[in-house]
């Protein structure tokens, strides 16, 4: 992926900043700069704000979606600190996490969080612009590099045009880079996320839907699932929740058997009807496989058979998701025995449970 060219700026240095990245810090440092520029429209950026922006960007992939950032990445403890201190609102219309952290943490916890981030990324603001001073830093002891970069950045600000220079607890973005960052903000973000996905794929080889797991979850469209299960309940007229054994009547709540934050899709073969209170209680947990898998498959099998045999006009659309898991057409799926149906589901879903559990999703949830 190529960055927009500039006649006055060394764009190749910006591209090189993301070569051979061994942890996520540079990605989230640059994202924080772009977001802070957008919100403040100032070239003077506060390092405390940038540190909190890094946390707010990394929290979703790291804590909510349980992705691995590799052995050299230590943001996990910081992410856990945020989760322990505040109850994060992930609803589609909620404030962004940066605002929630600043509003919800008390002064002492906010100060503690900033110190944790600063300690973790103590080299990042300096090493991010190191390539502007490659010749000047040759042979320099590692312990002196940060101080030397500060000196060179401040002294050569108008000549070599590094991204920024330093002053107290702030960085000052070079005016020409500020203009470039603002003009090409969306392309630059795409460039970062492209590199970040490549980085994450190495550390999460068995995880599906990585591109959906970089950001706050968006509002999902479950209208097809509601239509499917509502029509099934209307025909069957005797459907109980597999978790609570409560009768499901008018208010159908749709649950993801394998949590959405792992599976990252809304296909009907992973969905089932329940009540709002039960769904809220289950949350982001993996249900106990031994207790609930058989009832889940029985429900799925009966629902497929019922909808397929019905006279519903849009039944092909309602059943289409099943072709993805069975890799077969609707008629062949209908003709499967319950044992064959079960075996296919087990082959697909059992590894999902194991991987999700290994990633840190709470497992063995049982409704009480």
Model pLDDT, residue 63: 92
Concatenating the DSSP letter of every residue in 172-235 gives EE-HHHHHHHHHTHHHHHHHHHHHHHHHHHHH-TT-S-GGGGSSPPPP---HHHHHHHHHHHHH
Overall average pLDDT of the 343-368 stretch? 92
Q: Are residues 129 and 241 in the same domain?
A: no
Alpha-carbon separation of residue 31 from 40, 137, 171, 349, 352 (angstroms): 14, 26, 15, 35, 31
Model pLDDT, residue 71: 81
Q: Are residues 207 and 229 in the same domain?
A: no
- With respect to residue 2, please indicate whether it lies within any of the assigned structural domains: no
What percent of the chain clears pLDDT 90, i.e. is strictly above it? 72
The residue among 213, 233, 266 that closes a domain is: 213
- With respect to residue 3, please indicate whether it lies within any of the assigned structural domains: no
Q: Are residues 205 and 255 in the same domain?
A: no
Model pLDDT, residue 24: 87
Q: In which residue are the tokens 């220079």 written?
A: 165
Q: Are residues 18 and 151 in the same domain?
A: yes
Q: Are residues 100 and 200 in the same domain?
A: yes
* Residues 30 and 124: beta-carbon distance below 8 Å: no
Q: Are residues 146 and 253 in the same domain?
A: no
Helix (H) or strand (E) holding 80: helix 76-85
Overall average pLDDT of the 21-48 stretch? 92
- With respect to residue 18, please indicate whether it lies within any of the assigned structural domains: yes
Model pLDDT, residue 44: 97
Q: What is the mean pLDDT of the chain?
A: 92
Q: Residue 17 is part of which domain span?
A: 11-213
Between 97-106, 246-255, 292-301, the lowest mean confidence (pLDDT) is in: 246-255
- With respect to residue 218, please indicate whether it lies within any of the assigned structural domains: no
Model pLDDT, residue 208: 84
- With respect to residue 6, please indicate whether it lies within any of the assigned structural domains: no
pLDDT at 1 over 70: no
Q: In which residue are the tokens 């092909």 written?
A: 316
Model pLDDT, residue 66: 92
Greater confidence (147 vs 139) lies with: 147
Q: Are residues 209 and 254 in the same domain?
A: no
- With respect to residue 368, please indicate whether it lies within any of the assigned structural domains: no
Model pLDDT, residue 142: 82
Band (209; pLDDT cuts 50, 70, 90): confident
- Backbone Cα Rg of the chain: 25
Instruction: Single out the residue of 286, 268, 271, 273 nearest to residue 330, CA to CA.
Output: 268
Q: Are residues 55 and 191 in the same domain?
A: yes
Backbone angles phi, psi at 205, to 5 degrees: -65, -25
Reduce the DSSP state of residue 47 to 3 states and report it. helix
CB neighbours of residue 219 within 10 Å: 8
The residue among 180, 213, 246 that closes a domain is: 213
Q: Are residues 141 and 270 in the same domain?
A: no
Overall average pLDDT of the 300-305 stretch? 97
- With respect to residue 20, please indicate whether it lies within any of the assigned structural domains: yes
The residue among 213, 239, 267 that closes a domain is: 213
Tokens of 236: 């069957």
Q: Are residues 291 and 172 in the same domain?
A: no
Model pLDDT, residue 42: 95
Pairwise CA distance, residues 276 & 179, whole Å: 49
pLDDT at 21 over 80: no
- With respect to residue 116, please indicate whether it lies within any of the assigned structural domains: yes
Q: Are residues 201 and 70 in the same domain?
A: yes
Q: What is the pLDDT of residues 161-173, one digit of tens each?
A: 999 999 989 999 9
Q: What is the pLDDT of residues 277-287, one digit of tens each?
A: 999 999 899 99
Model pLDDT, residue 218: 79
pLDDT at 251 over 90: no
Q: Count the domains in the chain.
A: 2
């Amino acid at each position: 992926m190529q960055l927009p060219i500039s006649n006055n700026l060394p764009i190749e240095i910006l591209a090189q900043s993301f070569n051979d990245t061994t942890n996520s810090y540079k990605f989230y440092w640059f994202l924080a700069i772009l977001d802070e520029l957008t919100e403040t429209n100032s070239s003077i950026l506060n390092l405390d704000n940038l540190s909190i922006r890094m946390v707010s960007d990394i929290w979703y992939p790291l804590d909510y979606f349980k992705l691995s950032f590799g052995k050299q990445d230590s943001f996990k403890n910081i992410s856990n600190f945020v989760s322990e201190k505040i109850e994060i609102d992930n609803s589609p219309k909620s404030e962004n996490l940066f605002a929630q952290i600043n509003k919800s943490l008390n002064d002492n916890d906010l100060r503690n969080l900033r110190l944790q981030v600063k300690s973790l990324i103590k080299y990042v603001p300096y090493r991010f612009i190191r390539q502007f001073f490659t010749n000047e830093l040759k042979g320099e002891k590692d312990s002196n590099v940060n101080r030397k970069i500060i000196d060179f950045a401040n002294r050569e600000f108008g000549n070599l045009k590094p991204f920024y220079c330093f002053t107290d607890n702030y960085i000052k973005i070079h005016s020409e880079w500020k203009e470039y960052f603002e003009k090409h903000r969306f392309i630059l973000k795409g460039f970062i996320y492209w590199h970040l996905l490549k980085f994450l794929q190495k550390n999460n080889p068995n995880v599906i839907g990585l591109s959906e797991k970089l950001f706050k979850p968006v509002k999902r469209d479950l209208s097809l699932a509601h239509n499917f299960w509502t029509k099934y309940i209307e025909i069957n007229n005797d459907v109980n929740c597999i978790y609570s054994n409560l009768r499901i009547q008018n208010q159908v709540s749709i649950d993801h058997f394998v949590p959405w934050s792992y599976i990252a899709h809304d296909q009907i073969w992973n969905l089932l009807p329940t009540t709002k209170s039960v769904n809220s209680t289950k949350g982001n947990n993996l249900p106990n496989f031994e207790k609930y898998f058989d009832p889940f498959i029985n429900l799925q099998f009966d629902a497929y058979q019922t909808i397929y045999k019905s006279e519903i006009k849009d039944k092909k659309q309602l059943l289409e998701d099943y072709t993805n898991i069975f890799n077969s057409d609707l008629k062949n799926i209908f003709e499967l025995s319950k044992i064959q149906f079960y075996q296919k589901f087990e082959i697909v879903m059992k590894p999902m449970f194991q991987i999700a559990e290994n990633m840190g999703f709470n497992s063995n949830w049982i409704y009480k």
